[in-house]
Amino acid sequence: MKKLEQRLDNVVYRAGIGQSRDQSRQLVNHGHIMVNGEKVSVASYQVSTGDIVSIREGSAKGKYFSALAPQWLKAYQPPAWLALDPVALRVTVQGVPTITDSGVDIADLHSLVEYYSR
């Protein structure tokens, strides 16, 4: 579960920058997201504690990041393992997610492992 939660597309979703996992994956794949100042366009990139996830400077000027995202980020509360700066659209990974952070029921964990092991 930790590996799935620490995927870059999931971090973008959990931070509230993307409103769905699909949208978050698209934001990463289209090159809008940076990790520690480097553009990363691989959705499965694994973030680590201390990593800073931000928006690429050119992308930050677009309507989505300059006008739309700040509206819903004001009231959004990310999980405890992420620290969100809603004004700068920057997320700091402060720790490692737990199974309770993922929202997955422990009884469903076996099915999830089976699905991803295909």
Q: What is the CATH number of the domain that holds 74?
A: 3.10.290.10
pLDDT digits (tens, 9 = 90+) for 51-102: 999 999 999 888 888 888 878 888 888 999 999 998 888 999 998 887 777 6
Tokens of 37: 């100042």
Residue 104 is predicted with a pLDDT of 67
Query: What is the dihedral sign for C-alpha 40, 43, 48, 54?
Result: positive
| Beta partners for residue 72, in sequence order | none
- CA nearest 81: which of 65, 105, 100? 100
Q: How far is CA 9 from the centre of its chain?
A: 5
**pTM score above 0.95:** no
pLDDT digits (tens, 9 = 90+) for 16-52: 999 899 999 999 999 999 999 999 999 999 999 999 9
Residue 51 lies in domain: 2-116
Domain count, the chain: 1
Tokens of 29: 């794949």
